[in-house]
Homo-oligomer: A and B are copies of this chain.
């Protein structure tokens, strides 16, 4: 049973920018030649997260509205005292959402629901270039 490592690169706008990784993830599985297994996605960095959502502007906006209520951008976060930056909210949101996601695939297809996409949410307060690691383990 082999392991195949892939990466998915994205340029994001920050501020909760949510990008759909599903097609690239499916392509990585296709290129691996694996039939059944698990895709582990991971974002290196402490100001972004990975989850699934119905990727349409309303639901994406709703999620951001809730994060803004839970961890507002303009609070005097203690993290700001450390570096003099202004992305304390980004760190909290990232820790809450989590940096990893594991998605099984069967017969080469992700086991996602019809209205469910794999997304990277970039909480940082500025545009970033991100690289999501995809580790495929299967047969």
Contacts and interface: CB of A to CB of B under 8 A. Distances in A.
Interface stretch (A9-17, A24-32, A101-109): A101-109
Copies of this subunit? 3
Contacts of A51: 95-96, 98-99
Given A1-B1, A37-B135, A139-B2, A54 B62 contact: no
Contact of A113 (B46, B79, B138): B46
Contact of A46 (B57, B115, B133): B115
A127 interface: no
Interface string A36-66: 1110101111100001111011110111001
Chain A binding surface, main DSSP class: mixed
Given A59-B92, A100-B101, A38 B36 contact: no
Contacts of A2: 1, 139
A80 B54 CA distance: 12
Interface string A57-86: 111011100100111000001111110000
Contacts of A101: 98-100
17 contacts: A1-B1, A1-B2, A40-B102, A42-B103, A42-B104, A42-B111, A46-B113, A51-B95, A58-B79, A59-B78, A59-B79, A59-B82, A59-B91, A62-B78, A63-B92, A66-B92, A69-B70
